[in-house]
């Protein structure tokens, strides 16, 4: 069988070995990126497609006549019309769990930056502040301990649980909001979580029920000094409401690895706020959807993609998201 990967550039910048996949097929084509209007052309006569965020609508699936398998190089699958694939007996698989530790660590990269202000202090030193100082310790920016602070976790899947474990190691108090109460966890309502938390970390999938979940009403409940951290999906947060909460001082900060539109649009309220912010202590920290991307996580990703594909070829598919 022949295979094509449509977005190799989202998995590797020349630092990942694709041979575990290539060795499973007769022909393996590689495209770094695929424009939406080129999807059908790039798929061509291949039976196997590997992709990340390329949209596979009903129309695209209809035109890909030989397609038998879509292997996602990601956990999320909202870019695939699963029903249309199922009707064509096309198996769709995803990659769960490969970036659990990476995403959880990113939460604490944001959290500790707000608590300790390492970047701000680095800029202070770089600009000569310590050289001009009269004291050996120039604590010009306020910092806090995170021990005994309350971390509210929304969504308690694998990443939420990993975040909880790390938080407990730091001595934080953890409260949880999830669809199904977790035995042994401090389960609370959304409203109570926003009222009580010093830090709030989002780990829920993007669904019609969670879109815009973090809105003006919930943000208005935050205690002064609270910080929102989102490493899940951008659209879980109402970005206009978040910017208003930052501007008004209702919350002290937000650390985001995701945005509602990716790559970020120039019309994004987050971009407008970020580009106008000129403060030694920035309230908004953003990374470009890279919480999942450490080299170790991407190696695991390719290993699981290859395992998924091998299982499909052996007629015993695993990690199927559209049971056919």
Residue 78 belongs to a domain: yes
Q: Say yes or no: 272 and 136 in one domain.
A: yes
Residue 6 belongs to what domain range?
2-96+295-313
Q: Is residue 305 classed as helix, strand or coil in its secondary structure?
A: helix
The CATH number linked to 88 is 3.40.50.720
227-230: strand order across its sheet: 173-177, 150-154, 199-202, 227-230, 253-256, 284-286
Q: Say yes or no: 68 and 177 in one domain.
A: no
Residue 320 belongs to a domain: no
In DSSP terms, which residues pair with 260 in a beta bridge?
A: none
Q: Say yes or no: 211 and 192 in one domain.
A: yes
User: Which positions ≥6 away from 35 have C-beta within 8 Å?
Assistant: none
Q: Say yes or no: 237 and 171 in one domain.
A: yes
Task: Give the residue numbers marked as catalytic.
Answer: 233, 262, 289
Residue 318 belongs to a domain: no
Q: Say yes or no: 79 and 201 in one domain.
A: no
Tokens read off for 14? 């020349």
Residue 181 has a pLDDT of 83
Q: Say yes or no: 123 and 237 in one domain.
A: yes
**What span, in angstroms and rounded, lies between the C-alpha atoms of 114 and 281?**
9
When divided into structural domains, the chain yields a total of 2
Residue 311 has a pLDDT of 98
In order of 48, 105, 114, 200, 286, the CA distances from 313 in angstroms are 10, 35, 48, 43, 40
Q: What is the mean pLDDT of each run of 10 residues along the chain (324 residues)?
A: 97 96 98 97 98 97 98 94 97 96 98 98 97 95 98 96 98 95 88 98 93 98 97 97 97 98 96 93 97 97 98 98 84
Residue 321 belongs to a domain: no
Contact 93, 319 (CB under 8 A): yes
Residue 324 belongs to a domain: no
The single-letter DSSP state of residue 131 is: T
Residue 73 has a pLDDT of 98
User: Which positions ≥6 away from 46 have C-beta within 8 Å?
Assistant: 2, 3, 4, 29, 66, 67
Q: Say yes or no: 119 and 237 in one domain.
A: yes
Q: Say yes or no: 226 and 211 in one domain.
A: yes
Q: Say yes or no: 259 and 153 in one domain.
A: yes
Q: Say yes or no: 64 and 106 in one domain.
A: no
């Amino acid at each position: 069988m022949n295979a094509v990967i449509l977005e190799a550039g989202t998995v590797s910048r020349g630092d990942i070995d694709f041979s575990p996949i290539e060795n499973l097929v007769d022909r393996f084509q590689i495209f770094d990126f695929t424009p939406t209007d080129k999807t059908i052309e790039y798929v061509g006569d291949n039976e196997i497609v590997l992709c990340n965020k390329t949209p596979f609508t009903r129309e695209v699936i209809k035109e890909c006549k030989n397609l038998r398998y879509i292997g996602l190089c990601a956990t999320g699958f909202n870019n695939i019309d699963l029903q249309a694939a199922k009707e064509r007996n096309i198996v769709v698989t995803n990659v769960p769990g490969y970036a659990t530790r990476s995403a959880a660590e990113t939460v604490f990269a944001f959290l500790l930056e707000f608590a300790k202000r390492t970047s701000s202090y680095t800029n202070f030193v770089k600009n000569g502040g310590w050289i001009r100082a009269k004291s050996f310790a120039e604590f010009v920016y306020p910092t806090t301990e995170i021990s005994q602070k309350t971390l509210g976790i929304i969504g308690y899947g694998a990443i939420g649980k990993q975040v909880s474990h790390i938080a407990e190691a730091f001595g934080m108090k953890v409260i949880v909001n999830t669809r199904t109460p977790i035995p042994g966890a401090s389960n609370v309502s959304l409203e109570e979580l926003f009222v009580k938390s010093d830090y709030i970390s989002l780990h829920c999938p993007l669904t019609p029920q969670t879109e815009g979940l973090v809105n003006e009403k919930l943000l208005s409940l935050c205690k002064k000094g609270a910080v929102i951290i989102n490493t899940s999906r951008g659209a879980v947060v109402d970005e206009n409401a978040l910017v208003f909460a930052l501007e008004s001082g209702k919350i002290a900060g937000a650390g985001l690895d995701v945005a509602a539109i990716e790559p970020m649009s120039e019309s994004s309220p987050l971009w407008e706020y970020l580009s106008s912010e000129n403060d030694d202590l920035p309230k908004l920290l953003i990374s470009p959807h890279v919480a999942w991307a450490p080299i170790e996580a991407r190696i695991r990703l390719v290993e699981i993609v290859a395992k998924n594909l091998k299982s499909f070829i052996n007629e015993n598919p695993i990690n199927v998201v559209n049971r056919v």
